[in-house]
Amino acid sequence: MTPSPDKGARRITRLALLTAIALTIFMVEAQIPVPIPIPGVKLGLANIITVYAVFVLSRRDALLILIVRVFLGSVFSGQMLMLLYSMGGGLLCWLALALLRGILSPREIWLASPVSAVCHNIGQLLVAAAVMKTWAVLAYLPYLLIAGVASGLFTGLCAQFLIQRLGRIPPSK
Amino acid sequence: MSKYGKGVAALLILAVAASAGWVWFNGHSAPGQILEIYQNGQLVETVNLTQSGQPQTIVLEGDNGAENTVLIQDGQVCMSHATCPDQVCVNQGWISDSAVPIVCLPNQVILQIKGGGGTLDAIAG
């Protein structure tokens, strides 16, 4: 299932490709209106790529993809203020996935995504609390937690199917 | 499923159940009396909601042309207009209790209602 570790140009190409895919998904999703008016609620489809990268590639490569995607996403959407929120959420999300990679079996990858989604929400809230200097934003936590688990299950199953299907494609020589 | 997988699943179910319970019991509290408006982390305005007979609008100007319009009517509060890109604060509609504040993340504005026996006062304080 796991491709042999890439080196040099091959690794760079793979990282660039995954970053481009994640950024595209991120930008397309930003155009979809969210029916629930609570800050931070979203599908988080780009997390599929993060989950894939953490479990199939390496923790380090996944972190590189995530940081570049979050940074470019903020640049392209013209919301540099959101960079702080996204980065706080993204880093905590990555941390959760990096820990879970060590303990979950290959068939349980889908379980990692809801945990990472909730961690993403918690990270965002902590940054918001720091920026606005108030804990009042934590009132959103229970709502974000339910939404995060629901959307995380969806993206997690997407990642699980993706990893299993891609594993059947023989690597090109 | 491995024991870790089961543990993670149990943790998720527990977290969702706790959140659902929290939302169920605290989602609607008694109407609050005091509206506090925070901008960039500072309290800029306090409005007594019990005295607001006439509809009242408060315009908050922020950095880089950011602007938020707060509408107060019949003890309720909403963000009627905002220059932020996502418009989450506007779409949230009216609030009248301390259960959930209206937050405009991009423009760093918070509309928080206090009083009325809301359980979040201790946290928000």
Q: What is the domain partition of chain B in residue ranges?
A: 1-30, 34-114
What number is the average pLDDT over the span B105-112?
Answer: 89
C-beta of residue A157 within 8 angstroms of C-beta of residue A43: no
Residues of A in contact with B123 (CB under 8 A): 135-136, 138-139
User: Which residues form the domain of A48?
Assistant: 8-166
Domain count, chain A: 1
- The CATH number of whichever domain residue A65 belongs to comes to 1.10.1760.20
Residue B52's pLDDT band (cuts 50, 70, 90):
low
Residue corresponding to tokens 């937690």: A145
- C-alpha closest to that of B102 among A30, A123, A139, A145: A139
Quote the pTM value.
0.85
Q: Is residue A129 part of a domain?
A: yes
Residues of A in contact with B19 (CB under 8 A): 141-143, 145-146
Residues of B in contact with A111 (CB under 8 A): 5, 8-9, 12
**Looking at the predicted structure, is the pLDDT value of residue B86 above 90?**
no
What is the pLDDT at residue A57?
A: 92
**Looking at the predicted structure, is the pLDDT value of residue B125 above 50?**
no
Query: For residue B109, what are its two tokens?
Result: 């504005």
Contact with chain A for residue B40, Cβ under 8 A: yes
Q: Is residue A135 part of a domain?
A: yes
What is the pLDDT at residue B115?
A: 76
* Closest CA–CA distance from residue B68 to any residue of chain A (Å): 16
What is the pLDDT at residue A5?
A: 67
Residue corresponding to tokens 């003890």: B75
**Looking at the predicted structure, is the pLDDT value of residue B87 above 80?**
yes
Q: Which CATH number fits domain B34-114: 3.90.1170.50, 1.10.3720.10, 2.60.320.10, 3.30.70.3460?
A: 2.60.320.10
**Looking at the predicted structure, is the pLDDT value of residue B118 above 50?**
no
Per-residue pLDDT of chain A (173 residues; tens, 9 = 90+): 455 667 789 899 999 999 999 999 999 998 888 888 888 888 999 999 999 999 999 999 999 999 999 999 999 887 777 899 899 999 999 999 999 999 999 999 999 999 999 999 999 999 989 988 888 888 889 999 999 999 999 999 999 999 999 877 666 55
Q: Is residue A171 part of a domain?
A: no
Q: Is residue A98 part of a domain?
A: yes
Q: Which residues pair with B56 in a beta bridge?
A: B72
- C-alpha closest to that of A49 among A78, A83, A15: A15
Q: Which residues contact A106 (CB under 8 A, 6 or more apart)?
A: A1, A55, A163
